[in-house]
């Protein structure tokens, strides 16, 4: 039985990649982080020296029309940023198009509880199509976690889509649902040490019945590690569904929530919408006016000046603690 202090365990035979280093999100890329990047990406990195006691706040976000389609071609001048309702100055801005050198890391979480048994084959097929369409060889990586009464790593990080598809095809339905545990462990054990865009895509009926951790633990972990959560809440006629928490995960972290019926075409549409959004996101960074390193949560709001365009972004971040910062040499 899973306990909160235990680490995510791989299924026997799964390929595991050890992740090391400090996860500082997009700041490591913008300012020359420790993870190796392609030469083209390094050429785009501003050679700026910023001391750790004045950290940048980095936000990856989506600009969407009323029909939820991503809006391309926007610039820094199209946006305003507020922290705790106070305006901030945007210092860095970029559009993360399909040709962007910024790496994308995806944790695909598949609910294999008994309540999704009849939909599991459709979920496998649509997830495979999504991974084939979104992952760029030698740039992006994904892993697969299944969760029911326990949380298991089925396939660790890889850019080999066929290996990921084989892992998907190996999934079998289990018993209860440990959604909160799955999200928390995906962040803390796998995504926390990554750089670039970090995304969780969770497909589930949304009704957590077995987690040892609380939903607040999972949300805070995702916020602290700059992880976007996209939820696909699949409804079924045989079982009830509760998507309130899954929707909250998405809203708090800047991801998106989709609620298809059990039909395969609708699940495909949800994955397609996520893929289109990930190929058309933006990133910005600013130095906060509030320089206090007090570890508190700071509310962040991004507004688009153009009418009819709404912004989907995480609702805030946790300021660093003074005892965890060291001055840059």
Q: How far is CA 68 from CA 65, 201, 212, 248, in A?
A: 5, 18, 35, 18
Alpha carbon 4 to its chain centroid, in Å, reads 21
By the 8 A CB rule, do 203 and 111 touch? yes
Q: What angle do CA 249, 253, 259 make, to 5 degrees?
A: 45
| pLDDT band per the 50, 70, 90 thresholds, residue 48 | very low
Which residues have a Cβ under 8 Å from the Cβ of 273 and sit 6 or more positions away? 68, 256, 258
Looking at residue 52, its pLDDT comes to 42
Joined together, the tokens standing for residue 162 give 């066929």
Highest mean pLDDT, choosing among 16-20, 39-43, 65-69, 159-163: 159-163
Domain boundaries, the chain: 26-78+90-98+284-291+303-324, 101-278
**Residues pairing with 81 in the sheet:** 88, 302
Q: What is the chain's mean pLDDT, rounded? A: 84
Neighbours of 237 (CB within 10 A): 7
Instruction: Give mean pLDDT, residues 97-102.
Output: 85
Residue 24 confidence (pLDDT) above 50 = no
> Count of alpha carbons within 13 Å of 305, Cβ hemisphere only?
8
Q: How far apart are CA 159 and CA 136, in angstroms?
A: 7
Instruction: Give mean pLDDT, residues 120-135.
Output: 95
* Residue ranges in 51-145 assigned as alpha helix (H): 120-134
DSSP calls for 90-105: EEEEEEE-TT--S-EE
Q: Is the CATH code 3.40.50.300 the one for domain 101-278?
A: no
pTM: 0.84
Q: How far apart are CA 122 and CA 254, in angstroms?
A: 26
């Amino acid at each position: 039985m899973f306990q909160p202090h235990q680490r995510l365990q791989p299924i026997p035979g799964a390929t595991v990649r050890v992740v090391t280093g400090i996860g500082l999100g997009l700041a490591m890329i913008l300012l020359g982080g420790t993870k190796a990047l392609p030469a083209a990406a390094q050429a785009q990195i501003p050679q700026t020296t910023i001391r750790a006691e004045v950290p940048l706040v980095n936000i990856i976000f989506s600009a969407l029309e009323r029909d939820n389609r991503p809006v391309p071609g926007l610039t820094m001048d199209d946006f305003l940023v507020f922290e705790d309702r106070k305006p901030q100055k945007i210092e860095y801005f970029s559009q993360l198009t399909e040709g962007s050198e910024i790496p994308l890391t995806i944790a695909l979480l598949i609910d294999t509880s008994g309540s999704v048994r009849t939909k599991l084959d459709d979920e496998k097929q649509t997830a495979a199509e999504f991974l084939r369409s979104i992952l760029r060889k030698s740039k992006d990586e994904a892993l697969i976690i299944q969760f029911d009464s326990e949380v298991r790593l089925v396939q660790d990080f890889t850019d080999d889509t066929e290996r990921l598809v084989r892992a998907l095809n190996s999934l079998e339905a289990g018993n209860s649902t440990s959604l909160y545990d799955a999200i928390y462990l995906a962040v803390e054990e796998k995504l926390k040490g990554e750089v670039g865009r970090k995304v969780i895509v969770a497909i589930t009926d949304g009704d957590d019945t077995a987690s040892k951790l609380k939903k607040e633990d999972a949300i805070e972990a995702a916020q602290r590690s700059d992880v976007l959560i996209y939820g696909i809440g699949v409804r079924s006629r045989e079982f009830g569904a509760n998507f309130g928490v899954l929707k909250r995960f998405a809203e708090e972290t800047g991801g998106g929530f989709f609620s298809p019926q059990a039909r395969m075409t609708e699940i495909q549409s949800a994955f397609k919408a996520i893929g289109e959004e990930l190929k058309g996101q933006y990133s910005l960074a600013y130095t906060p006016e509030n320089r206090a390193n007090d570890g508190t949560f700071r509310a962040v709001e991004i507004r688009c000046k153009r009418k009819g365009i709404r912004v989907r972004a995480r609702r805030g971040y946790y300021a660093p603690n003074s005892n965890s910062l060291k001055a840059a040499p």
